[in-house]
Chain A
Amino acid sequence: MSDAIPLLEINGLTKVFKRRFGRGTGAELRAVDGISLKVERGDIFGFLGPNGAGKSTTIRMALGLIHPTSGRVSIAGYDVATQKLSALRRVGAFVESPSFYTYLSGWKNLEIFAGLSGGVTKDEISAAIAKVGLSGREHDQVRVYSHGMRQRLGLASCLLPRPELLVLDEPSDGLDPHGIRDMRELVVKLAREDGLTVFLSSHLLGEVERLCNRIAIVERGKIAVQGELPELEARYRRWCIETDAPASAEALLKTQFKLEDIRREADSRRLFVNLGAARPADVNAALVNAGLAVRCFGPEEGWLDRLFLDLTSSKESPASLAGKGSA
């Protein structure tokens, strides 16, 4: 397959669940509503959204677990609906949490799951175990593994046999800070050293910010925003300005720089401003020249968290909120 073909391409994916039994028979739930996205080779793509937004349903449709109501998913150019086995040969994945036969050893589990993909050599299993740092524990029963070890084993099972795309659903879910850091380092290593493309869903926005080069935020079954992370940062990251006279500063920014996206924090002297095309140094100089005491001037911390919350906790439609970011 050509490198020009996106490794994962989702077009107009929709899933409507219909209640078949009991109260409310016939009622419809539109879990995913026309999602489209592309994951290019080499991407680490973050797929974000609150619980119930449709992330897992999208991932399940991408992996052929759920049949879409409409839309199309292709992996390395293979249509998941019609060429499912060819498509899945390119993928290593775990959905929601890695699951294992707990009465078998880690090694046996890997042998079984890799066997379903056509089989691997013992050396390949050993290499995958070493890569995720489970050497020495591979012959223990999975029931005695810690949560972190199971996550690592899940990652090892994704690596067998030789996928091009890793699909990881909440890989850091339930891990302690050390585990989260280790998992992040592992994913980065797999992407950089082994050249794997990664599609991961997560709630840990700081992790996503550190890991991913592209993201999509999904809310109520629709993509609210997606793009390259630096591009989104330039578009949505605000600057924090702390001054003695926030009202005067706001008026100056509106008149002199024509800035509209300004938020005043209640009971504080801080403004959060989307500078758009304005240069931060020019804005700072203008405030100082106007006689305003600028105590703090810098890029907003946790901008992705804020964007996520803005998009996912508002009653406004995510699309209209996303449109407020100045290009």
Chain B
Amino acid sequence: MNSPANSTFWAFLRFETVKMFHRRITWVPFGVIVIVVALVVAVFHYSDFKTQLTFLKAMNLPVKEKKDFVNGYLMAVATLNPVSQILLPLFIAVAAGLMIAGEAEGGTLRACLIRPVSRTRLILGKFIVLGGYGLLLSYFYLGLVLTAGLINFGRGDLYLLNVFFNNGREGYAVITPDEAPYRFLLAGLLLACGMMVLASLAILVSALSRTAAMAYVISLSIYNIFLTLRALQFLEWLYPYLFVTHMLRWQQCFSENVQWGEIYVSLVHLAAYLAVFLCSAVLLFEEKDVTS
């Protein structure tokens, strides 16, 4: 047997994973994603997309009817905004709430903390597992929505109107079917990075909360406050400092040309936010009295 100090962290990660995937609620998001994708397929089948068609024609783009621009890639990209801004953060906040505050509520956190495992290791271990869960959900969603879209609507040029997408900027983008998969891969990576930052925020809040419900309400409230600030045009000067701005940087992957400079800047910002949230969680949790 390995020495206790060496075996504990890997054992800890394994046990956190076992705990997470034995909870029924962990599987609920996968079911929700399946339902969302099914609904989107149905909407794309039965919607006539008149407004978009009008816009595209007005811009002299070579589209005459729905089938010219409705394809699997468009379906996937059209759902990315709501899923990445609403559903994935919700799932991650709930999982984080259950991981620490939920365990504190149930008494199992104190049962762990009276074992020879450091609080820093506990927070980092839970973050790694939560981050992995966020990554899994992001790619599960992307994989499913692309597969369902391509099966139902096939491949084609990806026409994107920035007025509907890409934060309301003017203009449009056309991405070729050969390039689209790489854009989705890159978008998935950036989306997952954003979800890791949200996971670190949710872990911080969960470490300081008494109940799981309190943890995910507070996490989502903070996230939504920042999203609201991000939507106020007169606060544009503040955008570069908001973590949600950088969480949404995956939208850049669907511009005419990928702005690599902006993506690097956002990755640096996301890394800094992650470090700040995670270090705060570790420091505050180390000092916390566990009275529950």
Contacts and interface: CB of A to CB of B under 8 A. Distances in A.
Contacts of A67: 287, 289
Nearest to A63: B114
Contact of A103 (B3, B23, B110): B23
Nearest to A120: B1
B66 interface: no
Interface stretch (B8-16, B31-39, B130-138, B277-285): B8-16
Given A115-B11, A116-B8, 19 more contacts: A60-B290, A60-B291, A65-B289, A65-B290, A84-B116, A84-B118, A100-B108, A101-B108, A113-B111, A115-B7, A115-B14, A116-B11, A116-B12, A116-B112, A117-B115, A118-B7, A118-B8, A119-B1, A119-B2
A64 interface: yes
Contacts, number: 99
Interface in A50-85: 60, 63-67, 84-85
10 contacts: A60-B110, A60-B291, A65-B290, A66-B291, A91-B114, A97-B107, A103-B22, A108-B18, A115-B11, A116-B12
Nearest to A59: B114
A165 to B, nearest CB: 12
Contacts of B3: 118
A104 B11 contact: no
A113 B113 contact: no
A96 interface: yes
Interface of B: 1-5, 7-8, 11-12, 14-15, 18-19, 22-24, 106-108, 110-118, 287, 289-291
Interface in A26-56: none
Nearest to A161: B4
Interface residues of A, number: 35
A121 interface: yes
B239 to A, nearest CB: 32
A95 B4 CA distance: 23
Which of B107, B112, B116, B290 has the most A CB atoms < 10 Å from its CB?
Answer: B116
B19 A99 contact: no
A147 to B, nearest CB: 14
Nearest to A102: B106
A94 B287 CA distance: 21
B116 A98 contact: no
A119 B14 CA distance: 12
A67 B287 CA distance: 8
Given A115-B11, A118-B3, A118-B8, A65 B19 contact: no
A99 B291 contact: no
B28 to A, nearest CB: 14
Given A108-B18, A116-B112, A121 B1 contact: yes
Nearest to A104: B22
A86 B116 CA distance: 7
A50 B108 CA distance: 25
Contact of A99 (B107, B116, B289, B290): B107
B94 to A, nearest CB: 16
Contact of B18 (A86, A94, A112, A157): A112
Contacts of A65: 110, 113-114, 289-291
Contacts of B114: 63-65, 88, 91, 93-95
A64 B5 contact: no
A306 interface: no
